[in-house]
Amino acid sequence: MRKAALVMLGALVLTGCAKVDMYRGDAHNSGVYSDGVSALNSLQWKFDSKSAIKTSAVISDDVAYFGNHAGFLFAVNLENGSEKWRFKTGGPVGGAPAISGGKAYFGSHDGKLYAVDIKTGQQVWSLATAGSVTTSPALVNGILYAANVNGELYAIDAASGQERWKYVAKAPIYSSPAVAKGLVFFGADDGHLYAVRTDSGNEQWRFATKGKIHADPIVHGDYVYIGSQDARIYAVDIKLGQQAWRYRTAASIISTAVIGGNTIFFGSQDGMLYAIDMDSHRPKWKYRTRDWLNGATVYADDMVYIGGYDKKLHAVNADNGHEAWSFATQGAIITSPVIASERIYFGSTDGFFYAVR
């Protein structure tokens, strides 16, 4: 499995030298990193944001960027957890920023998209949308793709903040978009996975599930994978928009999946972390926790990491499903961890942002 993971790493924009410029590492929402933490040694530091952290972080040039429920976007130094700056919005920050060209791009529950200078923490531009922006944007070829709870997907020129096009799904969007093969993928509360063309904003296809979709799609090869609140995870053919296969759990799937080797890993509100063989579509193993697993799953060095409502970050051996370690906080962990420089970084609803190794 390790060999396959390293091949995947070579094809994606991943951590490398402590540099992650987008949510989950790339526009595919892959969540695959190098330099995992196979054994827990200690808490390196924790940063008190004074409010619940429900957004994932992005790491760029040894700085972590993340938001909190009080409406701040923070820039924190990785070396010691000291604050570099903070930027205030008019509502909770629910998604991770995208970092490019010296700017951080992100949305807020105040309905605006922002561009902030990462050296000074000062606003460059803002764009008002018609609804709260709770998800993480994708940034590809200078175009920012972001969605809101009013069911709108925007394509924004990152340099100017000008709208290129807008697609209206007519259902709230709580699913962070993924971009690949000239298409933007996202789920919506009407139970559909959408594929929209990046050049025009026209719908290419939509795929129906039987539940709301709050999980983020991930793209791997010729398929896009998405979990639904109908308790199923789906593999959908990118060209046809048709189901290739699916697997059913005992409860809603809000957790975003990750693929390592020939296995897809994801959590469920039944409290289980699943490892599903992508050839047989059967479980290799299941790892049980004591509460919902809504956090996104990430992978590195034959290890799988996921946070849960049990207030723990779990590190699980990808081959056998055995727990390697867990780290307890005082709040739920519903974000996607980030791995860089042999540390794992994540926020908790207890208001702290953690660095452990």
Q: Which of 224, 229, 220 is nearest to 268 (CA)?
A: 229
| Alpha-carbon separation of residue 9 from 206, 223, 294 (angstroms) | 29, 18, 25
Q: How high is the pLDDT of residue 20?
A: 40
* 19 has a pLDDT exceeding 50: no
Q: How far is it, in rounded angstroms, from Cα 193 to Cα 240? A: 13
β-strand partners of 245: 235
Q: Which of 98, 100, 76, 79 is nearest to 87 (CA)?
A: 76
Q: How far is it, in rounded angstroms, from Cα 293 to Cα 313? A: 10
Q: How high is the pLDDT of residue 10?
A: 35
User: pLDDT tens digit string along 88-124?
Assistant: 999 999 899 999 999 999 999 999 999 999 999 999 9
Q: What pTM was estimated for this model as a whole?
A: 0.93
| Alpha-carbon separation of residue 238 from 28, 197, 219, 225, 269 (angstroms) | 13, 12, 9, 10, 27
- Where does the pLDDT of residue 11 fall: very low under 50, low under 70, confident under 90, or very high at 90 and above? very low
* 13 has a pLDDT exceeding 60: no
Compute CA 222 distance to the chain's CA centroid, rounded to the nearest angstrom.
20
Strands 263-267 and 223-227: unpaired
Secondary structure (DSSP) of 46-102? EEE-SS---S--EEETTEEEEE-TTSEEEEEETTT--EEEEEE-SS---S--EEETT
Q: One-letter amino acid identity for 10?
A: G
Percent of the chain with pLDDT over 70: 94
Q: How far is it, in rounded angstroms, from Cα 154 to Cα 169? A: 11
User: pLDDT tens digit string along 220-270?
Assistant: 999 999 999 999 999 999 999 999 999 999 999 999 999 999 999 999 999
* 8 has a pLDDT exceeding 60: no
Direct distance between the N- and C-terminal alpha carbons of the chain, in angstroms, rounded to an integer:
22
Domains, the chain, in order of start with CATH, read 2-356 (2.130.10.10)
